[in-house]
Amino acid sequence: MRFDPAGQRVTGRRVRRLGALLLAESIIGQPNAALVAQALLSYLQEAGLEKLSWTPAARQLQQRLEFLRWHFPAATPDAWPAFDEEALRADLPAWLGPHLNGLKSLDQVQRLDLTEPLLARLPGGWAQRQQLDRLAPATLEVPSGSHITLDYADPAAPVLAVKLQELFGLTETPAVAAGKVPLLLHLLSPGGRPAQVTRDLRSFWEKGYFEVRKDLKGRYPRHPWPDEPMKHIPTRLTKKRLGTS
- pLDDT, tens only, 21-63: 655 664 555 567 778 888 889 889 888 999 999 999 999 999 9
6 and 88 share a domain? yes
In the prediction, which pLDDT does 30 show? 59
In the prediction, which pLDDT does 47 show? 87
Q: Indicate the pairing of strand 147-149 with strand 194-198.
A: unpaired
32 and 128 share a domain? yes
The residue type found at 36 is V
Asked if residue 118 lies in contact with residue 83, where contact means CB atoms within 8 angstroms, the answer is yes
Confidence band of 13 (pLDDT split at 50, 70, 90): low
Residues with Cβ within 8 Å of residue 144, at least 6 apart in sequence = 165, 166, 167, 168, 234, 235, 236
Question: What domain count does the chain have?
Answer: 2
- Per residue in 134-170, pLDDT tens? 999 999 999 999 999 999 999 999 999 999 999 999 9
Give the domain-ending residue among 135, 150, 181: 135
Residues with Cβ within 8 Å of residue 220, at least 6 apart in sequence = 189, 190, 191
Considering only CA atoms, which of 78, 111, 83, 110 is closest in space to residue 95? 83
In the prediction, which pLDDT does 17 show? 64
In the prediction, which pLDDT does 36 show? 80
More confident residue, 2 or 205: 205
Give the domain-ending residue among 83, 101, 135: 135
168 and 232 share a domain? yes
Share of the chain above pLDDT 90, in %: 69
In the prediction, which pLDDT does 237 show? 86
127 and 42 share a domain? yes
11 and 57 share a domain? yes
150 and 205 share a domain? yes
48 and 126 share a domain? yes
131 and 143 share a domain? no
153 and 37 share a domain? no
211 and 128 share a domain? no
**Mean pLDDT over the full length of the chain:** 88
119 and 32 share a domain? yes
Cα separation, 129 vs 38, in Å, equals 28
Give the domain-ending residue among 98, 117, 135: 135
pLDDT of 72 above 70:
yes
123 and 19 share a domain? yes
Segments forming the whole domain that contains residue 19 = 2-135
